[in-house]
Amino acid sequence: MAKNNEKNNKMSLEEAGKKGGKTTAKKHDQEFYEEIGQKGGQTTAKEHDKEFFQDIGKKGGETTAKNHDQEFYEDIGQKGGEKRAQQRKND
């Protein structure tokens, strides 16, 4: 308990959240997380318009561009091309 209140020996909010997350992860499998992720995505889609998604996409793209170099984009482009070629073979 690194960030606890030393006087009363209570867990911080951050520590409690981390502990709860670990407990939840032990109780549930990947399917559980896929299901709640899908529900969250559907709810978000109902509550926001096209402009919202354009804005967050632009922000995400700008952040990614700041954090990665040309080699990163070459690598993901290569992987995407290989995956697409594989999909065409299977069609």
Q: What is the pLDDT of residues 54-81, one digit of tens each?
A: 999 999 999 999 999 999 999 999 999 9
The mean per-residue pLDDT over the stretch 43-56 comes to: 97
The reply to whether the predicted model has a pTM over 0.75 is no
pLDDT at 2 over 90: no
On whether both 34 and 12 belong to a single domain, the answer is yes
> Where do the H-state alpha helices sit in 1-91?
13-27, 30-47, 50-67, 70-90
On whether both 66 and 88 belong to a single domain, the answer is yes
Say how many domains are in the chain: 2
pLDDT for the residue 3: 54
pLDDT at 22 over 90: yes
Radius of gyration of the chain (CA): 21
The mean per-residue pLDDT over the stretch 26-47 comes to: 96
On whether both 61 and 31 belong to a single domain, the answer is no
On whether both 27 and 53 belong to a single domain, the answer is no
Range of the domain at 91: 49-91
The mean per-residue pLDDT over the stretch 29-50 comes to: 96
On whether both 43 and 57 belong to a single domain, the answer is no
pLDDT for the residue 59: 98
